[in-house]
Amino acid sequence: MPNALITGTSRGLGRALAEKLLSEGWNVWGFSRNASLIKHARFTEQLLDITDESVVQHAVNLLSQNAVTLDLLVNNAGAASMNALLLTPAKTAEALMRLNYLGSFHTLQAVGKLMVRQRRGLIINITTVAVPLALAGEAAYVASKAAVDALTKVAAQELQPQGITVIGLGFGPVDTDLTKAVGKEKLALINQRIGRPDGTTLHEAVDFIFEKLNSKTLATGHLYYLGKIP
Amino acid sequence: MITRSQILVLILNRLKSLGVELHKPALVEATEQTRLFGDKADLDSMGLVTLIADLEYDLQQNLGRTVSLVDEKAMSRLTSPFRRVDFLTDYLVEVVNQKNP
């Protein structure tokens, strides 16, 4: 049975993806700050803060000490914030960069070493259409996810010789807690721009991830979007 | 506790495996004087990354705790600890002792 590590499994896309992988026979490890409602014999949860490098490194080392191999890492944990650029508190910008970018960086680095030893693996960084659309009102969020996109491209180059594929999967607004605070008009506008006027359900987002998981033609370093990016 | 000679054995064993994998006989026959990185070295940057990841794992297995071989100080030294097998051996001894006084 293949093994996956997903960050941010307590709710939203991370939880839905974990449940889908479990139903498909995967073993799933979840890194999350808050406890998940997932109860499954093949689900192991570790409550931790992925912005803490040593904590992440230690948690991944525990996996390798227990001879766990990882076929898949999904860097999913993240947060968003809607603010006009000039009114965005510095602390908000810092917190988003810390969680969205550094959280992904620490996890990718720790799991990357494990996958280098395996000489194989797939790393998926969850990103957003907000970056290529340069969405107004989301400067701090877009900047943090743009950093994740850059990380994806560089990691892909460095890890390809070791048999590791790194891709980004980007979504428009998915029906989760993350988008609840965004106005309906704003969501409709974004969904129109990416050619998905009805928006994106969790189910559709998970299906998109599975489509890529099962693809034989993934291009490492590529950012794939669910929706049309102009 | 792990001795310098045990650490050297770990490094040479990993280099031997890498040498077989990368088809580089010089790594299979590595000694303390073998250059790892830089001019006339047999490892490229990706090979060095692989070696470091493998050694972190070996030390973790031997010591039962996490060991990180890459930090700001290591990267900024005038003589890189990753340049030659003997330098790397001494550096690993230093790291292991630092974190386990």
Q: pLDDT tens for residues A161-178? A: 999 999 999 999 998 877
Q: Taking residues A214-227, what's their average pLDDT? A: 97
In our burial notation (b when 16+ CB lie closer than 10 A, e otherwise), range A208-221 reads bbeebbeeeebebb
pLDDT digits (tens, 9 = 90+) for A39-96: 999 999 999 999 999 999 999 999 988 889 999 999 999 999 888 999 999 999 999 9
Q: Is the pLDDT of residue B101 over 70?
A: no
The ipTM of this complex is 0.77
Length of chain B: 101
Which of A54, A55, A58, A65 would best serve as a mutation to test chain B binding (most B beta carbons within 10 A)? A65
pLDDT at residue B99, rounded to an integer: 53
Tell me the C-alpha distance between B14 and B16, whole Å.
5
Q: Is the pLDDT of residue A205 over 60?
A: yes
Q: Using one digit for the tens of pLDDT, what is the confidence trace for B54-79?
A: 999 999 888 888 888 887 777 777 77
User: For residue B57, which residues of chain A lie inside 8 Å, CB to CB?
Assistant: 64, 113, 117
Q: Could you tell me what percent of chain A has a pLDDT over 70?
A: 100
Of A54, A113, A162, the CB nearest to B56: A113
Q: What is the mean pLDDT of chain A?
A: 95
Residue A106 has pLDDT above 60, yes or no: yes
Contact A14, A29 (CB under 8 A): no
Q: Distance between CA atoms of A158 and A166, rounded to whole angstroms?
A: 10
* Residue A183 banded pLDDT, cuts 50, 70, 90: confident
The Cα of B50 is separated from the nearest Cα of chain A by a number of Å equal to: 6
Cβ of B71 under 8 Å from any chain A Cβ? no
Residue B39 burial by Cβ neighbours in a 10 Å radius (0-12, 13-18, 19+)? exposed
Report the run of H or E that residue A88 belongs to, with start and end: none
Which positions in chain B touch A54 (Cβ < 8 Å)?
Answer: 66
Contacts of B66 in chain A (CB under 8 A): 54, 57-58, 61
Question: How far apart, in whole angstroms, are the C-alpha atoms of residue B44 and residue A10?
Answer: 41
Chain A residues within an 8 Å CB radius of B17: none
Give me A172's structure tokens: 């428009």
| Portion of chain A with pLDDT greater than 90, in percent | 90
Asked if B53 has any chain A CB less than 8 Å from its own CB, the reply is yes
Q: How many CA atoms lie within 13 A of A191 on its CB side?
A: 17
- B50 vs A58: CB contact, 8 Å cut-off? no
List CB contacts (< 8 A) between B56 and chain A: 113
What's the rounded mean pLDDT across residues A11-19? 96
Measured distance CA(A76)–CA(A141) in Å, rounded? 14
SS (H, E, C) B18-39: HHHHHCCHHHHCCCCCCECCCC
Q: The whole model's pTM is what?
A: 0.90
Residue A179: predicted pLDDT? 78
Domains in chain A: ranges and CATH: 3-225 (3.40.50.720)
> In angstroms, what is the C-alpha Rg of chain B?
13
